[in-house]
Amino acid sequence: MIELAMVFAKDGSALFWLGPNGCTSGSVPDSHVLWDRIWRNREVIGGVAHTHPGDGPTGASHTDLTTFAAIESGLGKRLIWPIVSSTHVSFFQYWELSKSYVDSKNVDFRDMNHWFEVVKTLRHLSQIGG
Amino acid sequence: MADGNGEALVPVVENPVPADMARLSITFGGQQGDLPELVPWDATDENLKEMATETVRDGYVPGIDAQDEPDFTDYVVDRFEARPDVQFNRLALRPKTPFGA
């Protein structure tokens, strides 16, 4: 299984995929193409999802957390940062109270029907790539 | 237009950006702009981040509102050499995007 990244819109629909070139089982590389797609879609972007290898709930790495903050700084807006393992999805968001990114259990995805298909596809592609 | 010999005159346009200089584009806070002055093409990433911090803080970058404490720590510099369709060096300071370990 390799790591992949996907930019999605506020309604959960996929806007852009990054991978598998340059991606490994442990990382998605820095990419000006990914930033370009994020910037071009800044009015409609909901967040960026990426995969982590393995099963179970997963935490965000230091690289993940600093990337979340950098991209939000560049866009001037907060996003949702799902991390997808083979069995779980963690939805990281910045919480002002704790001044940190936490796995949010309170994200309302009822209107994000596309999102669940996207997670399935993300898992499938990460398996193929690996 | 033609000269006295009937040869077409082709205006000579000087490249406004010397080969050892570059335009620096900065993206921050949902805004994007170019530094008015040229910067050295071989400036280090750290030097460029320092320039960006000072100029964005002072509201000196057209298109970017002045910010109290702009932080470019987790930004990276893309370097695009001059090419036929863009005949000057360009530098772009943007957020980093890697994920994973």
Q: Using 50, 70 and 90 to split pLDDT, how confident is the model at A26?
A: confident
The Cα B86–Cα B98 span in angstroms is 28
The Cα B79–Cα B59 span in angstroms is 24
Which of chain A's residues have a Cβ under 8 Å away from the Cβ of B99?
A: 3, 5, 27-28, 50, 61, 63-64, 67
Query: Which candidate, A10, A28, A45, places its Cα nearest to that of A122?
Result: A28
Judge if ipTM > 0.90. no
What string of H, E and C letters represents the secondary structure of chain B?
Answer: CECCCCCECCCCCCCCCCCCEEEEEEEECCEEEECCCCEECCCCHHHHHHHHHHHHHCCCCCCCCCCCCCCCCCEEEEEECCECCECCEEEEEEECCCEEC
- pLDDT (0 to 100) of residue A130: 43
List, for residues B40-51, the tens digit of each pLDDT value: 999 999 999 999
Q: Is a pLDDT exceeding 60 seen at residue A111?
A: no
The neighbour count for residue A82, using CB atoms within 10 Å, is 26
List, for residues A54-103, the tens digit of each pLDDT value: 887 788 999 999 999 999 999 999 999 999 888 888 889 999 999 999 98
Q: Are B53 and B23 in contact (CB under 8 A)?
A: no
Residue from the list B30, B78, B101 with its beta carbon closest to the beta carbon of A63: B101
| Domain extents in chain B | 21-95
Q: Is B19 exposed, middle or buried (0-12, 13-18, 19+ CB in 10 A)?
A: exposed
Q: Are B32 and B25 in contact (CB under 8 A)?
A: yes
Q: Is a pLDDT exceeding 50 seen at residue A39?
A: yes
- pLDDT (0 to 100) of residue B15: 65
Q: Is a pLDDT exceeding 80 seen at residue A122?
A: no
Which of chain B's residues have a Cβ under 8 Å away from the Cβ of A77?
A: 30
- pLDDT (0 to 100) of residue A116: 67
**Which distant-in-sequence residues (6+ apart) come within 8 Å of A62 by Cβ?**
none
Q: Are A46 and A78 in contact (CB under 8 A)?
A: no
Query: Which candidate, B46, B38, B31, B48, places its Cα nearest to that of B88?
Result: B38
Note whether A73 contacts B71, CB cutoff 8 Å: yes
Regions of chain B with pLDDT less than 70: 1-15, 101
